[in-house]
Structure 1
């Protein structure tokens, strides 16, 4: 599979695929006689994995650390801890998004009554008060 096909199938830009390869996040991709990259199932699996971790918000530095630990087959607990840390970060972000969604839902559900009160306050302010 060439880079164009891999890019479309994995929904990742060609420049991102080149970057991930140069950053050693995915294995070196073999090249054909013409010098074009030829992606195998192995590279596609790595692309899928890196894409998932990036979607999870894992920074490139931690990704490099994770991939290096994976390739060296050492320190499985450290790899697992990196995944746990990222999961906890995502859960915290999820809680914040849920709080924001709850607030927006409240504002939407009560929009008309809140706006009516605001308009009444404005009218009362503009009216002359007799003393």
Structure 2
């Protein structure tokens, strides 16, 4: 479960629920659903950040191409 990115606190809670037996199956499921939702949000945030970085890189690539064109023109 640690490889799934769960915090130590959540793992402790999960293990405690497991130790309580089958009457906590629903609570364990809800805990996992909650953690999945947190992960989905984190992925969405990371994708937005990646998109912003890609955009900025594209802008800089465009600027570099323009500078190269200007340099070639000034060399001629």
* TM superposition score normalised by structure 2: 0.69
* 2:60 matches 1:111: yes
Of 11, 16, 25, the match for 1:76: 25
Q: Which residue of 2 aligns with 1:85?
A: 34
Is the Cα–Cα contact under 8 Å of residues 66 and 82 in structure 1 kept in the other structure?
Answer: yes
Give, in angstroms, the shift of residue 114 of structure 1. 4.3
Count matched residues: 65
CA deviations over 1:51-104 (Å, ceiling 9, x no partner) = xx3233322222111112112222211100110111011000000100011011
Deviating beyond 4 angstroms after TM superposition, the runs of 4 or more aligned structure 1 residues are 114-117
Larger radius of gyration between Structure 1 and Structure 2: 1
| Greater CA drift, 62-71 or 89-98 | 62-71
Q: Once superposed, what is the RMSD of the aligned Cα atoms?
A: 2.0
* TM superposition score normalised by structure 1: 0.43
Gaps of 5+ in 1: 1-52, 118-131
Secondary structure of the corresponding residue to residue 58 of structure 1: coil
Secondary structure of the corresponding residue to residue 71 of structure 1: helix
For 1:43-82, list aligned pairs within 5 A.
53-73=1-21, 74-82=23-31
Gaps of 5+ in 2: 67-76
Q: Tell me: higher relative CO, structure 1 or 2? Use CA pairs within 8 A at least 6 residues apart.
A: 1
Q: Which has the higher helix share?
A: 2
